[in-house]
Amino acid sequence: DAGVIQSPRHEVTEMGQEVTLRCKPISGHNSLFWYRQTMMRGLELLIYFNNNVPIDDSGMPEDRFSAKMPNASFSTLKIQPSEPRDSAVYFCASSLAGAGNQPQHFGDGTRLSIL
Amino acid sequence: DAKTTQPTSMDCAEGRAANLPCNHSTISGNEYVYWYRQIHSQGPQYIIHGLKNNETNEMASLIITEDRKSSTLILPHATLRDTAVYYCIVRVPNSGGSNYKLTFGKGTLLTVNP
């Protein structure tokens, strides 16, 4: 079975540029999560979608960050304009909510470096 | 979610059982215990979860004490590829409403030595 697919795996760009991270959740999953991981702060939840609707975006650091889920098989996380402090590994995860205790399954992440 | 306490690091010899402890003394009755691990440069990987009964799957076994205040993840025959950070998390199941957060602590760095 295909797991959560993220692209790109690595992104290096200059400060001020727009960055778009992409995620394809596991087919049939109705919950999608975006996380950010840094050495200082560990893994942090940025935003959570259920049935393509954003439920909680309280973890989104600033207005520079936005996330969309236009359909059940695709989500994007956009940073505009990007700053060096946004450098981190960004993970997408999906799960089947409302079906008991199904775990979240993570992609391999996008390693983002803002110069 | 209940707070968990794990040792910062542990070592294990290859081929031996790795026993990773987790304390969760404030766990509530409807919270499950989940274990994830993160191998270097990869995303967190789900291992196993349980409520009060011991659980076993192809990856590991989970032993939960009768009072549910602590648990142990057992990797029966550790290999070098099991070297990773292991996270113990307690939470209620995600019902599509508010019970969705996975709060990752610092976990235990398990190093499997040849």
List pLDDT tens digits, range A51-74. Answer: 999 988 989 988 999 999 999 999
Residue pair A108/B38 in contact by the 8 Å Cβ criterion: no
Task: Average the pLDDT over B29-34 and give the result.
Answer: 88
Q: Is the model's pLDDT at B97 over the cut of 60? A: no
| Residue B102 pLDDT | 79
Cis peptide before B44 (omega within 30 of 0): no
- In whole angstroms, what is the distance from residue B49 CA to residue B55 CA? 7
**Record: contact B100-A31, CB cut-off 8 A:** yes
**Record: contact B43-A100, CB cut-off 8 A:** no
Q: How many CA atoms lie within 13 A of A114 on its CB side?
A: 17
Confidence of residue B94 (pLDDT cuts 50, 70, 90): low
Element (H, E) at B92: none
Task: Average the pLDDT over A66-91 and give the result.
Answer: 96
| Residue B30 pLDDT | 83
**B4 contacts in chain A (CB < 8 Å):** none
Residue of A nearest to B50 (CA): A101
Distance from CA of A18 to the nearest CA of B (A): 24
**Record: contact B93-A100, CB cut-off 8 A:** yes
